[in-house]
Amino acid sequence: MERRFAIVGHRATSSGKIRLNDLAGSAGRMDVLVRAVNAALFLSHGMREDSHITLHLMGGPGPPRRIWFDGSRLQGLHSDERAIAGQVNKVLQYPVPPIGQLVEIWPGLWHSGGDLSTTIGEWQREDVTLVKLDAEGTALEAQEHKEIPEKIGFVLSDDRSFTDEENILLAQSMEARSIGSKWIQGHIAIGIIHHMLDEQRPLDI
């Protein structure tokens, strides 16, 4: 079963150089996205080959950029924040590709133009079951087992709430599900999702 994550970085730098010593400030809370990559892809010893994550860098300068990490093909990525941020920084030196054109920079890492609506459209065409992670949604964990789809995609935001436009898009595309009543940090939410899927907990999807 393939699990995917999409996280929106509303202020995250989409082009240029980022200061690796100031990911929270100078790069528009890139630290939040980097931690999400770590949680989505890495085990204690090794990488999750069934997991993907797409970062949406919306903060400019220039057009938005998406960076897609595929755990089944990634090579040379290490599980510390600075190393992951360094890889993102390398991607930012390339021009943003046109929307709909995925360019593979090295094995398992692509980038493209576009925003969350682009990713949702791609996932829908690939028959991915979509879930918005939202503390105000209905409970993700179910009382009894249901058939789990082969591809599940979870959408979450950075340290800011989704915009009104994003919420409308998400409401049209997927159900909102909660893993608890508290608004927890994105990388922690991803870790909880992994645990629930690893342990084959019953989910309302």
203 lies in some domain: no
Q: Which tens digits make up the pLDDT trace of 157-194?
A: 999 999 999 999 999 999 999 999 999 999 999 999 99
- The structure's pTM equals 0.96
Asked if the structure places residue 204 within a domain, the reply is: no
- CB 65 within 8 Å of CB 80: no
Over the stretch 137-158, which tens digit does the pLDDT of each residue have? 999 999 888 888 999 999 999 9
Give the model confidence (pLDDT) of 26-78 as tens digits. Answer: 889 999 999 999 999 999 889 999 999 999 999 999 999 999 999 999 988 88
Q: Tell how far CA 181 is from the center of its chain.
A: 21
Domain count, the chain: 1
Confidence (pLDDT) at 75: 86
Longest dimension (CA), the chain: 49
Half-sphere exposure of 22 toward its Cβ, with a 13 Å CA cutoff?
8
In a domain, 151, yes or no: yes
Phi-psi bin for 77: left (phi > 0), alpha (psi -120 to 50), beta?
A: beta
Q: How confident is the model at residue 3 (pLDDT cuts 50, 70, 90)?
A: very high
Domain residues for the domain of 38 are 2-198
Residue 205 located in a structural domain: no
- CATH code of 28's domain: 3.40.1280.10
